[in-house]
Amino acid sequence: MPVQIAVGISDSFDAVEAFSDAALDAVRGLDAPCDLCLVFAGTPHLGHAKWVLSAVHERLEPRNLIGCGAGGVVGPGREIEGGAGAVVWAASLPGAEITTHHLTAEPGAEPGDISGLPVPEEMGESMFLLADPYSFAADACLARINEDRPGMPVLGGLASAAIAGSSALFRDGDVLGAGAVACSLSGVEVLPCVSQGAAPVGPEMTITAAKGNVIEQLASKPALERIGEVIAGLPRSERELVAAALMLGIVIDESKPNYERGDFLVRPLIGADKESGAVAIGERVRVGQVVRLHARDGAAADEDLREALREQSDEFGAGGAAGALLFTCNGRGSHMFDVSDHDANAIDDALGVPAGGFFCAGEIGPVGGRNFLHGFTATMALFRR
């Protein structure tokens, strides 16, 4: 039996009706039992979360379920950026081993403090992670997974809707108010696809002095001076781009002979010291790493997403994809693009398969073989048919 994926979406303000309809649409798209279901619920539905889960279980009978509150949801060719959005993503994954987890780790926790994470040999071959941004140390969790299971992709996002001061997380039939929910998968091929929505500009540069997240020198010059030289040498169109949103891309996997767009972890510049010429970015760095300036706007984000999807479409070959699970930033959508339903339509254009997901308060996905928490990014789990 091949992998099958189906997605239902609704904007009904009645929570039970919305998720009953979405679950029935998912049922119609499957002709095999549902092995894994992900549920994303808009803020107006969170007060009825128990009824929502009951409606999904009654109609779909999923063997495993995780989900969370969502400020916006994504379905096939459609995005509902706010309000009463409801999405039910369902997959039949023959031969797969799937286990759900509830994780806890207070903000500021160290990687060793994560509770509920399975031992490395039981983490599976890939993982989906949905976390409450206020009560869970997502960065520490990802650092722990990167250490325990090097190369294992983790995809997901931070819940973007809450009620009564806490985010709603779903695991099987339970509604949880804190921590994170996750599922481990083995026996099914999940291809990660990460689009950070930024375009590289200028030459590559090597960090020659650094401490923590502060770059003191680039190519043996004060970092601020070297960045200024690069910007001055850019074409006018690229100078205008970096003036609006200057980012820095850091190479994570240095074993490659050449670095391309997807090899850089893109992070914002968060400060600069004119006296010393040092700059601070949103990531720890070290001497010897290669960096490159990046710029982000709607056009760059569109090009980056479509290029990433083209590469994955080629990877699938003749067999094609069965479906996609999308975690996109709540700063994308109509905030970033001139057209509605942008990311949903890009997936449909490239792959022509059912896709569903939600607008996140932070997106999780791998770059250079390591998992990171991102912003303004679209991370996707693609399934081979």
Mean pLDDT of 241-263: 88
**Any idea of the CA torsion for 349, 151, 260, 265, to the nearest 10 degrees?**
90
Give dist(CA 238, CA 245) in Å, integer.
Answer: 11
pLDDT band for 260, please (50, 70, 90 cuts). Answer: confident
pLDDT of residue 66: 98
The first and second tokens of residue 335, run together, are 């905030």
327 with 9: CB under 8 angstroms?
Answer: no
Mean pLDDT of 269-291: 96
Q: Comparing C-alpha atoms, which of 100, 87, 12 is closest to residue 56?
A: 87
**pLDDT at 88 exceeding the cut of 90:** yes
Q: Is the pLDDT of residue 333 over 90?
A: yes
User: Residue 128: phi, psi to the nearest 5?
Assistant: -105, 135
- Residue 303 structure tokens: 């090009």
What is the average per-residue pLDDT within 264-281?
A: 95
Sequence-ordered list of residues with C-beta below 8 angstroms from that of 318, at least 6 positions apart, any chain? none
Please state the rounded mean pLDDT for residues 281-288. Answer: 96
Q: Average pLDDT for residues 9-18, to the nearest whole number?
A: 98
Q: For position 1, what pLDDT does the model report?
A: 80
Average pLDDT in the 143-170 region? Answer: 92
As a whole number of angstroms, the distance between CA 67 and CA 159 comes to 9
Domain ranges of the chain: 4-195+301-384, 199-295
The pTM assigned to this predicted structure is: 0.95
pLDDT band at 167 (very low <50, low <70, confident <90, very high): confident
What confidence category does residue 318 fall into, taking pLDDT thresholds of 50, 70 and 90? low
Task: Mean pLDDT check: name the lowest of 52-56, 315-319, 368-372.
Answer: 315-319
Is residue 151's pLDDT more than 70?
A: yes
Q: Which pLDDT score is estimated for 257? A: 85
Instruction: Tell me the average pLDDT of the chain.
Output: 95
| Res 38 pLDDT > 90 | yes
Mean pLDDT across the stretch 297-320?
87
Please tell me the predicted confidence (pLDDT) of residue 166: 66
What's the pLDDT at 163?
A: 82
Residues 6+ apart with CB under 8 A from 60: 23, 26, 27, 34, 37, 88, 90
> Can you give the length of the chain in residues?
385
Domain covering 199-295 in this structure, CATH number? 2.40.30
Which tokens go with 355?
A: 């896709």
Longest dimension (CA), the chain: 66
DSSP symbols for 62-113: -SSEEEEE-SSEEETTEEE-SSS-EEEEEEE-TT-EEEEEEEBB-TT--GGG
Q: What is the mean pLDDT of residues 236-256?
A: 89
More confident: 336 or 1: 336
Q: How far, rounded to the nearest angstrom, does the alpha carbon of residue 111 sit from its chain's CA centroid?
A: 20
Q: What is the pLDDT of residue 165?
A: 65
How far out from the chain centre does Cα 339 lie?
A: 21
pLDDT tens across 97-130, in order?
Answer: 999 999 999 888 999 999 999 999 999 999 999 9
pLDDT in tens, 197-209: 999 999 999 999 9
